[in-house]
Amino acid sequence: MSRDSSSDKPWAGRFTEPTDAFVEAFTASVGFDKRLYKHDIDGSLAHARMLTHVGVLTENECEAIVAGLEEVRADIERGAFDWSVALEDVHMNIEAKLTDKIGIAGKKLHTGRSRNDQVATDIRLYLRDEIDLIAVEIKRLQSGLLDLAEREADAILPGFTHLQVAQPVVFGHHMMAWFEMLKRDYSRLMDCRKRVNVMPLGAAALAGTSYPIDREFTAKLLGFDGVCENSLDAVSDRDFAIEFCAFAATLLMHMSRFSEELVIWASAQFDFIELPDRFCTGSSIMPQKKNPDVPELVRGKTGRVFGSLMSLLTLMKGQPLAYNKDNQEDKEPLFDSIDTVRGSLRVFADMVPAIEIKHENMERAALSGFSTATDLADYLVRNGVAFRDAHEVVGKAVRLGVETSKDLAEMSFEELSQFSPVIKEDVFEVLTLQGSVAARDHIGGTAPSQVRAAVARARAAL
C-alpha cells in the first residue's frame, strides 16, 4: 500500500487543495514515531475492547478489529508494512492499514478517541516498558560494582580532594560510592514510573467524549495504575517525559564522572587499572596506544542527554492548553535519551566487572602523597595536643618529607619525634596505609570490614 495523494488523508474532508509536498514531509512524524507501533496497537486493542464492553461496538466489529490489528502487527514485524508519509504518523498509518484489511469496522476504531489522547497514551506505554528494561540494567551494573567492591575490599589507593592525594581509601569503598549514586538514580526512575503509568486515553481531543466510555476498564487492560483526572492536562503535558529525561541526565552525569575516573586511572601517569582490550581501541598512527573509548564515549554522550532535557523543557514552556503540534517534537529527544541510557548502562555493566586493579601502583601512589598526615594529627590529638597545634606539627613534618623526598612512614623515629614530645615509637602503627583505613571503622567509613558489611547490606537489598 502506498498513499501519495492527500485526498487519502482521514481529515481531507474540509480541505480544498492537497498539502504542499514539502509541508507534508515537514509535518510528518512517521519516520520516528513508527517505533511506537507495538504500543499503539496495544492501546487500540484495549480501546476497542472497552468500546465493545460499553456497547458502542458490536462483538463482531471488535473481533474484526482485534484480528486486523494483530495482522498489522505481524506485517510490521516481518518488514511487510509500507509506511506512508502522506499518512503523517504511526497512528494514521496503522488505522488506514486496518481499514484496508477489514473495511468499515476499521473506521469505527477511532470512535471516542483522538490522536491527542492516543499519542499521549502510546508514549507512556512505551516509556513504561523502557523504564522496566533500564531498571534491570541499572541493577546489573550495581551488582557488578558489588562484586568488584568485595573482591577489592582491601586494595588501597589514594583518595583525592582537588585531585590531590588526600587520605588512603580502599578500592571497594570507592566502588561503593558509585553504587550509592546508582541506588538514588534507580529510586528516581521508580518514582518517575509512578507518574508515567497513568492513562490519558478518554481525554479524546481535549474535552473528553460524549460516548459512554469506561476509562477504568481500558486502564486495567493496559496495566495503568490510574487515569489522568483532567482531559486538558492529559493530552497536553509531557512532564512525565521531562522527568524521565531529568533522571537520564542525572544518571549520565554520574556515569560521566565515573568515566572520567576510569580514563584518569587507565592513563600511563596513574596506571591504577587495566581496562580489558575488548573495551578499548587502538590508534591508526601510534602503535603503542590503547584508548579508553568506552568511558570517553559515555562521558561524551552525557551532552546529548542534557540537551534532550533542555529541549523538552523548552518545548513545553510556551504551550497554551491543550494539545499543540509542538508536542510532536517530544519524541526524538525522549527516544534518544532512552537509547543513550540503555547503551551506556549495558556497556558499563559488561565492562565494570572485568576491570583489573594494579595493586602496587595504587599503593605506591597512596604512599607518595603524605596521605596519612591526618592520621598523624589524630595521633597527636589522642595524646593531648589540640587539633590546630597538631595540624601545625604535621605540616612541619610534611615539609621535611618534601625536602628529603620521604613519606611520613619512611622517616626515622628521630626525624619525627623532633616535632613533638608526645610522638612515641607506636606512631608508625598509624602511619601505615592499612592502619589508616582500618581506623575509619564506622558506617560509611573506608575500613575494609565496613566495606564488606556495606556490600552485604547492598546485596540483600538489591
- DSSP-assigned letter for residue 359: H
Active-site pick, 7, 283, 368, 449: 283
CB of 29 to ligand ARG, least distance (A): 4
Paired with 159 in beta bridges are 167
- The H or E element spanning position 452 is helix 448-461
CB of 13 to ligand ARG, least distance (A): 15
Chain centroid offset of residue 294 CA: 16
**By CB under 6 A, residue 328 contacts ligand ARG:** yes
**By CB under 6 A, residue 231 contacts ligand ARG:** no
CA distances from 135 to 176, 226, 258, 262 (A): 18, 22, 19, 23
Strands 156-161 and 164-170: antiparallel
227's CB contacts (< 8 A; 6+ apart) are 198, 199, 200, 201, 202, 215, 216, 219
| H helix intervals, 318-447 | 331-351, 359-368, 373-382, 387-404, 413-417, 427-431, 433-439
Binding segment toward ligand ARG, per CB under 6 A, in 272-280, 312-320, 322-330, 413-421: 322-330
**Size of interface with ligand ARG, in residues (CB under 6 A):** 10
Binding segment toward ligand ARG, per CB under 6 A, in 223-231, 271-279, 302-310, 319-327: 319-327
**By CB under 6 A, residue 117 contacts ligand ARG:** no
How do the residues of the chain divide into helix, strand and coil, expressed in percent and rounded to 5?
70, 5, 25
162 is catalytic: yes
442 is catalytic: no
Going along 253-343, which residue ranges are E strands? 273-274
CB of 118 to ligand ARG, least distance (A): 7
Binding segment toward ligand ARG, per CB under 6 A, in 113-121, 266-274, 388-396, 427-435: 113-121
**By CB under 6 A, residue 89 contacts ligand ARG:** yes
**By CB under 6 A, residue 327 contacts ligand ARG:** yes
List the one residue from 45, 119, 298, 385 that touches ligand ARG (CB under 6 A): 119
List the one residue from 29, 142, 308, 344 that touches ligand ARG (CB under 6 A): 29
What residues act catalytically?
162, 283
By the criterion CB under 6 A, which residues form the site for ligand ARG?
Answer: 29, 33, 89, 115-116, 119, 323, 325, 327-328
